[in-house]
Amino acid sequence: MLKVPDHQVAGHRADRGKLGPLVDDSGRFYKPLQSDQRGDTEVAFYESFYSNTEIPGHIRKFFPGFHGTQIIEASDGSGPQPHLVLEDLVAGRMNPSVMDIKIGSRTWYPEASEQYIQKCLGKDRNSTSVSLGFRISGLKVYQNSEAGFWQPEKKVVYSFNADGVRSALRKFVSSNLSLDPDADPDCLYASTVYGHRGGILAQLLQLKEWFEVQTNYHFYSCSLLIFYDTESALDGLADPKVKLVDFAHVMDGHGVIDHNFLGGLCSVIKFIRDIVDEDNKCAKCEVNLGLKENGFYKSNTEIELDYEAS
């Protein structure tokens, strides 16, 4: 049974009779092949990528699995249409927190039409793409069963400046947004999600190593999708992941580093590293104050016993 994805945070959506992706319950994500060469470019990228024996296994895991194309009933009622059949990256996750970060200070590719370049340039200048080398395209952050998700409106996300981006990246790993979304984010999950061994920061650094050497592809207008299981975050089972999505504008790299993507990626890494460093500093203070031991908060009784013993 095909349905509109529950956790899509950006891009074209299949609701209200529009054309957009669909998912099934076997873990597949069906993205309609877009017009103007975009669909063909994306299929060509997946075919090239998965047949390229030079791509190391630890890099393949950053990309959705690809199962070819299939003609299925389109979401807009236009009848059977070709779709890319991809791995549904968030399948099996109950209430994931998800963020889409479009990488690159430039989202247009050199061969694009003047009209398309102007459209992209406008969006790049009016967002943080030009100033930071990336922009947040959409996000949702799970809070709890009562409050559900905190998901700012599209126009709010598009208006983020550097401070807005910093704050959104902190909110993405916070648990206190349902009380007051404007309150100082508590960054409760920063260490498990961003800083933990194998967490978001470590995965981004692994991806960066590949972008420092790969010259096969230039990824224009491509996004990092980062997500984790909020409900399991306090048990250390957040299973945070970094993936890449949207290859409708991937071009041949002609033996040249993709500096547009690499620069944006480094910039995202810097923002996240700052949050991790700040969190580590706070954790050290808590240990020094005797509030934490082995990474866990002590109970009030333990703190009282420590106090009596001192």
Ligand X SMILES: Nc1ncnc2c1ncn2[C@@H]1O[C@H](COP(=O)(O)OP(=O)(O)O)[C@@H](O)[C@H]1O
Return the number of the residue (203 or 221) whose C-beta is nearest ligand 5MY. 221
One of 203, 221, 230, 267 touching ligand 5MY (CB under 6 A): 221
Shortest distance, CB of residue 77 to ligand 5MY, whole angstroms? 19
Shortest distance, CB of residue 223 to ligand X, whole angstroms? 5
One of 141, 168, 187, 248 touching ligand X (CB under 6 A): 248
The reply to whether 222 sits near ligand 5MY by the rule CB under 6 A is: no
In the range 91-130, which residues lie near ligand 5MY by CB under 6 A? 102, 123
The reply to whether 89 sits near ligand X by the rule CB under 6 A is: yes
In the range 116-155, which residues lie near ligand X by CB under 6 A? 138
Instruction: Find the angle CA(149)-CA(155)-CA(161) to the nearest 5 degrees.
Output: 95
**88 touches, from ligand 5MY, ligand X, none (C-beta below 5 to 8 Å by class):** ligand X
The reply to whether 137 sits near ligand 5MY by the rule CB under 6 A is: yes
The reply to whether 22 sits near ligand X by the rule CB under 6 A is: no
Return the number of the residue (171 or 279) whose C-beta is nearest ligand X. 171
**Gyration radius of the chain over CA positions:** 21
Residue nearest ligand 5MY, CB atom distance:
137
Stretch that binds ligand X, among 6-14, 73-81, 106-114, 294-302 (CB under 6 A): 6-14
Contact 60, 103 (CB under 8 A): no
One of 45, 55, 63, 88 touching ligand X (CB under 6 A): 88
Site for ligand X, rule CB under 6 A: 5, 8-12, 21, 29, 31, 64, 86-90, 98, 100, 138, 223, 225, 245-246, 248
